[in-house]
Amino acid sequence: MPQPLVDLLWRTHPDAPGGGTRGPRAKHSISNVVERAMALADRSGLDSVTIRALAESLSISTMSVYTHVNSRDDLVVLMADAVYGTMTLPTFGRAGWRTRVRRTAEANLALLTAHPWLLHVKDPRLALGPGTIAKYDHELRIFDGTSLNDLHRDAALTFLLDFVGSNARSQLTSPEDFGRVWAEAAARLGRYVGDSYPLAQRVGQEAGESMGAPYSAAQAWRFGLERVIAGLADIID
């Protein structure tokens, strides 16, 4: 009989229900299965993680995978929570809330860069996991000592993490060598555009010369994070 997802997420907790003792010992533990699925996702993306591919990777049958996890959807939740559980959380110490925001943003950007498939995990059941809860509890402490109430703490953290996710997505999808493409196409593009869009030409030229490309994820990160902090300061200070 399949175990509830919450029991699978908290499987190492002392109060978690124990497995049966009858029958042959399983070749792999649930944690082994989840770790192998995470490795597949890190290597080839979330779409590569199918029950069949996972079974082949583990050298077991497809039905054997289902003795460990109830479904692929449950597996993805277990994977994401496991990643959050191993995340190196930033230290805060006596730092002010602005420094805490920056450290948290940088830690989450590093996590998403290392595991890009996390950007595609939207299952709300992830909130049930121990890794996710520990991460959430730590990051809420960004706003210790401020005037934010509990509801606004949650909203402020969501605001910050949404920005991080958006920028991470841009960094991961930005072409690496657009400078060469731009250099080759700029003159011909100018012939077509002419003087029809003077503001776009003026601003685009200055921004492009500054960034060496029509878009810089690094510059967007620096500018955007400062705006996030300024926006939070409006309700904190």
Residue with tokens 């706003």: 143
CB atoms inside a 10 Å sphere around CB 231: 14
The predicted structure's pLDDT at residue 53:
96
The predicted structure's pLDDT at residue 215:
65
The predicted structure's pLDDT at residue 177:
64
Rounded distance between C-alpha atoms, residue 45 and residue 121, angstroms: 12
Residue with tokens 């960034």: 211
The predicted structure's pLDDT at residue 197:
78
Rounded distance between C-alpha atoms, residue 143 and residue 149, angstroms: 9
Looking at domain 5-84, which of 3.40.50.150, 3.90.550.10, 3.40.50.720, 1.10.10.60 is its CATH number?
1.10.10.60
The predicted structure's pLDDT at residue 24:
47
The predicted structure's pLDDT at residue 222:
93
Residue with tokens 């990160």: 221
CA nearest neighbour of 126 among 163, 65, 76, 86: 76
- Which residues contact residue 237 at a Cβ distance below 8 angstroms, ignoring those fewer than 6 apart? none
Q: Where are the domains of the chain?
A: 5-84, 95-174+215-236
Query: What pTM was estimated for this model as a whole?
Result: 0.85
pLDDT digits (tens, 9 = 90+) for 192-205: 877 777 777 777 76
82 close to 35: Cβ distance less than 8 angstroms: yes
The predicted structure's pLDDT at residue 172:
86
The predicted structure's pLDDT at residue 20:
44
- Which residues contact residue 79 at a Cβ distance below 8 angstroms, ignoring those fewer than 6 apart? 34, 37, 38, 41, 49, 121
The predicted structure's pLDDT at residue 23:
42
The predicted structure's pLDDT at residue 200:
79
Identify the segments of the chain with pLDDT beneath 70.
Answer: 1-2, 19-26, 174-179, 205, 207-215
SS3 call for 219: helix
